[in-house]
Amino acid sequence: MTSYPLANTAALVTGGGSGIGLGIARRLATDGATVTICGRTESRLLHAISEIGPIDGPGSLHPVVADVTAEESVQAAVQAAEQNAGGPLSAVVSNAGGSTSIGPVTHLDKQSWSDTVALNLTGTMLVLKHGAASLVRNGGGSFVAISSTAGSLVHPWFGAYGPSKAGVDQLCRQAADELGASAVRVNSVCPGLIDTDLVEFITAGGEVLDSYRENTPIARVGTPTDIAALVAFLVGPESTWLTGQTISVDGGQGLRRGPSLASVLEPLFGEEGLRGVVAADTDS
């Protein structure tokens, strides 16, 4: 007899239309959860649901268009997820993220920095604010933020990505302390290099991928299912005394160091640019 450990779980997964988010949504739904996936592009969400196909058991998938950087949009997404589930949420996965600021720190521009922080950190804060309120109404639940090894391990030239993910980890610890009294658990998961479209430019091969492998004891590229397995555990009934933790799923990369993007960035910024030299006419 098939068991569904997440039956009666009402979940929201942001950035659920592709990559890690899609992998998480698939896992939660096949484990029996009613999952609402949100993202900015409706066609991508619908494609994701059709790609997963029919789900055996009580689980289901529902799309809602939302931009995690806009508070009203996040609020509406939480309400839509509650409507889909017929009540408050018991699991929220804040997965939407990315970076528009790859480059040396002396070449960072304010807009790219702000956009990356808005997507990764402010977006997680907004999903936490409205998602956790629903978890509290439910009488408890699990909030999981998808962070990154770049939040704790130095990743040179990753711009605002690492700092914003470090903020996500600290936000989760703070929220875990605040919300424990309401039986809401808050944890962050830190993936290493995962095989998704977002990093296809790395996983396709080359010196950056080689650098990742050299710094990863289990030297393979991770998959969305690697991350989804931990998220299912954190959302499920076997982790009810686990909160405030930052857990890496990275093949052990956290034991060593971040990758070098030098082979990609040196042609763009020059050897001097990578060590911080800025031409006089671009120093603004």
Which positions are catalytic?
161
170 is an interface residue for other proteins by CB under 8 A: no
Helix boundaries (H) for 9-93: 19-30, 42-52, 71-85
Q: Which residues contact 245 (CB under 8 A, 6 or more apart)?
A: 176, 187, 188
- Return the residues of window 143-162 that contact other proteins according to CB under 8 A: 159
Question: Of the listed pieces 4-12, 45-53, 217-225, 273-281, which binds other proteins according to CB under 8 A?
Answer: 273-281
Contact present, 134 and 82 (Cβ < 8 Å): yes
| Residue 65: strand, helix, or coil | strand
The Cα–Cα gap between 274 and 267 comes to: 10
Q: Cβ 264 to other proteins, closest distance in Å?
A: 5
8, 43, 111, 240: which one contacts other proteins (CB under 8 A)? 111
C-alpha 190/C-alpha 174 separation (Å) is 17
- Does position 108 bind other proteins by CB under 8 A? yes
Per DSSP, the three-state class of 2 is: coil
Is 282 an interacting residue with respect to other proteins (CB under 8 A)?
A: yes
Binding part of the chain for other proteins, among 38-46, 89-97, 104-112, 246-254 by CB under 8 A, reads: 104-112
| Beta carbon of residue 160, minimum distance to other proteins (angstroms, whole number) | 9
Single out the residue of 112, 122, 170, 239 in contact with other proteins (rule: CB under 8 A): 112
Closer CB to other proteins, residue 30 or residue 216?
216
Which residue in the block uniquely carries the two structure tokens 């997963």? 52
36 touches 84 (CB < 8 A): yes
41 part of the interface to other proteins, by CB under 8 A:
no
Positions in 173-202 near other proteins (CB under 8 A): 201-202
100 scored as a contact of other proteins (CB under 8 A): yes
Rounded distance, CA 69 to CA 188, Å?
A: 19
- Write down the least CB distance from residue 248 to other proteins, Å: 23
Which of 207, 223, 239, 242 lies at the binding interface for other proteins (CB under 8 A)? 207
216 SS3 class: coil
Cα separation values, 123 from 107, 114, 133, 235, Å: 24, 12, 15, 20
List of residues contacting other proteins (CB under 8 A) = 98-103, 107-109, 111-112, 159, 201-202, 204-208, 263-264, 267-270, 273, 279, 281-282
